[in-house]
Amino acid sequence: METHLADFIKDTPEGKEADEILRRCVHCGFCTATCPTYQLLGDELDGPRGRIYLIKQVLEGTPATAKTQLHLDRCLTCRSCETTCPSGVEYGKLVDIGRKVVETQVGRSPAESLKRKALAVGLPNAGLFGAALTAGRMVSGILPAALRKKIPPAQAASPWPAARHARRWVVLDGCVQPSLAPNINAAAARVLDRIGISLMKADRAGCCGAVAFHLNYQDEGRDAMRRNVDAWVPMLDTGIEAIAMTASGCGSTVKEYAHHLANDSTYAARAERVSNATKDLCELLGAESARLTPLLEAATTGRPRRKLAYHSPCSLQHGQQVRGHAEALLSAAGFDLTYVPDGHLCCGSAGTYSLLQPELSQQLLANKVKALESGTPTGIATANIGCLTHIQSGTTTPIRHWVEWVDEVLGGH
Ligand code: SF4
Ligand code: SF4
């Protein structure tokens, strides 16, 4: 598409990047068919092609309006459109740029600003979030049902094997996962310990930066990224083989640190090193199948296979373009995966989306639960804490991270 970006942005790094992305779009509209919000709302401006037009107009000098902001706010940033696009349009990067410009021009009401600021500050702080979660559990009886369903029961931390192997990976603890589901990383550590790899924590690492960044606190998001780079690079220097992600939403962001910090001359090279060393746990374990598969075969011989539905998070299948690894590991662990219709569609969690766009989020959740339960599974597996808690709020079928199912097969703790 032809572009004529306005003077205020055309010579900036963001302007040049947006221009390159926009020029790749050929208006074909293939992406529209696989966009969850277009499917719900039926409005071209609530689909990727329409949003691309809106961003183009703003970057070419048409002032943004509250309506422009609404259509961009309704986008889940699920990046299903990127998977569908035959021209390689990097919509996710474009919408980051567009949202920032629109926010600058349109602003937010004081109440909306306060809500977004509270989320940008509170969620990435593991201590604050843990305290808020504990308080929420104590008063859950008086909370509205919609909020109560989002608070999972407390989960005791399970054993984490001592570091005893020469081979070591480091895992991101993250911000909300340690409070919501501490068993996930412990389960990963136990599975890895069985195949001769020790999983380490990096005490100085924290939130990946995605929460603040996607709420348009981009500077704060980049600060979190720099802190993690500072925490991980010295560990890579000591021989840590990989940075493992057990939350695909975080993994999607960490793999893009090189992009987010490309214009920071102090951090660019180290951020690239971190991105290159980062993999989702399913990718890393998939490459260790020669060691893991015999253990799974021994553990499952003579046992009946169980039916499980797998929800592939958007951040894994679209954001990272990673497919098939978790499914193969679950299959090797004795699970038959049921067919899940519309598996490419978002569950409605999408970072803070379920809190900021609750109506659309709940519609997507209802559709997702129906699809996941259509094959009558005994449980559900996924790969991202946000999807896990969101989907669990809409069903009584137990949902766990896939590595927790694998760990259980191997004997758990
Ligand atoms: S990121 Fe998802 S919701 Fe947003 S335009 Fe693309 S497909 Fe639609
Ligand atoms: S599929 Fe790609 S090229 Fe076609 S309209 Fe969508 S973003 Fe543009």
pLDDT tens digits along 99-115: 999 999 999 999 999 99
Does residue 197 carry a pLDDT above 80?
yes
Parallel, antiparallel, or unpaired for β 306-310 and 278-280? unpaired
Instruction: State the pLDDT at residue 157.
Output: 78
Question: Is the CB–ligand 2 distance for residue 85 below 6 Å?
Answer: yes
Write b or e for each residue in 255-287: b if 16 or more Cβ atoms lie within 10 A of its Cβ, otherwise e.
bbbbbbbeeeeebbebbbbbbebbbbbbbbbbe
Question: Is the CB–ligand 1 distance for residue 51 below 6 Å?
Answer: yes
Does residue 132 carry a pLDDT above 80?
no
Whole-number average pLDDT of the chain: 94
Instruction: State the pLDDT at residue 136.
Output: 76
Instruction: State the pLDDT at residue 319.
Output: 98
Ligand 2 atom closest to Cα of residue 91: 7
Tell me the two tokens of residue 353.
């989306």
Which of the ligands is closest to the CA of residue 21? 2
DSSP-derived 3-state class of residue 292? helix
Rounded CA separation 297/33 (Å): 41
Averaged pLDDT for residues 291-306? 95
Does residue 340 carry a pLDDT above 80?
yes
Task: Report pLDDT digits (tens) over 308-335.
Answer: 999 999 999 999 999 999 999 999 999 9
- φ/ψ (deg, to 5) at 411: 115, -10
Does residue 28 carry a pLDDT above 80?
yes
Does residue 180 carry a pLDDT above 90?
no
- CA nearest neighbour of 1 among 29, 33, 42, 35: 29
Q: Where does the pLDDT of residue 146 fall: very low under 50, low under 70, confident under 90, or very high at 90 and above?
A: low
Instruction: State the pLDDT at residue 145.
Output: 66
Give the distance (Å) from ligand 2 centre to CA of residue 63: 24
User: DSSP state, 283?
Assistant: H
Instruction: State the pLDDT at residue 67.
Output: 98
Does residue 287 carry a pLDDT above 80?
yes
Does residue 150 carry a pLDDT above 90?
no
Q: Whose CA is nearest to atom 8 of ligand 2?
A: 25
Instruction: State the pLDDT at residue 48.
Output: 98
Rounded CA separation 196/186 (Å): 15
Instruction: State the pLDDT at residue 60.
Output: 98
330 with 379: CB under 8 angstroms? no
Does residue 18 carry a pLDDT above 90?
yes
Instruction: State the pLDDT at residue 142.
Output: 64
Does residue 129 carry a pLDDT above 80?
no
- CA distances (Å), origin 176, targets 129, 213, 397: 7, 16, 22
Give the distance (Å) from ligand 1 centre to CA of residue 187: 33
Question: Is the CB–ligand 2 distance for residue 87 below 6 Å?
Answer: yes
Does residue 40 carry a pLDDT above 80?
yes
Does residue 144 carry a pLDDT above 70?
no
Ligand 2 atom closest to Cα of residue 88: 2
Instruction: State the pLDDT at residue 128.
Output: 77
Q: Whose CA is nearest to atom 5 of ligand 1?
A: 48
Does residue 143 carry a pLDDT above 70?
no
Greater pLDDT, 300 or 144: 300
Task: Report pLDDT digits (tens) over 213-234.
Answer: 999 999 999 999 999 999 999 9
Instruction: State the pLDDT at residue 149.
Output: 73
Averaged pLDDT for residues 269-285? 98
Task: Report pLDDT digits (tens) over 232-258.
Answer: 999 999 999 999 999 999 999 999 999
Averaged pLDDT for residues 144-153? 71
Ligand 1 atom closest to Cα of residue 34: 7
If one residue of 32, 55, 77, 214 were mutated to test the ligand 1 pocket, choosing by the most ligand atoms within 8 A of its CB, it would be 77
Q: Domains, the chain, ranges and CATH?
A: 7-106 (1.10.1060.10), 300-409 (3.40.50)
Instruction: State the pLDDT at residue 203.
Output: 86
Averaged pLDDT for residues 339-363? 96
Question: Is the CB–ligand 1 distance for residue 349 below 6 Å?
Answer: no
Rounded CA separation 254/279 (Å): 9
Estimate to the nearest angstrom the gap between the alpha carbon of 118 and the chain centroid: 20
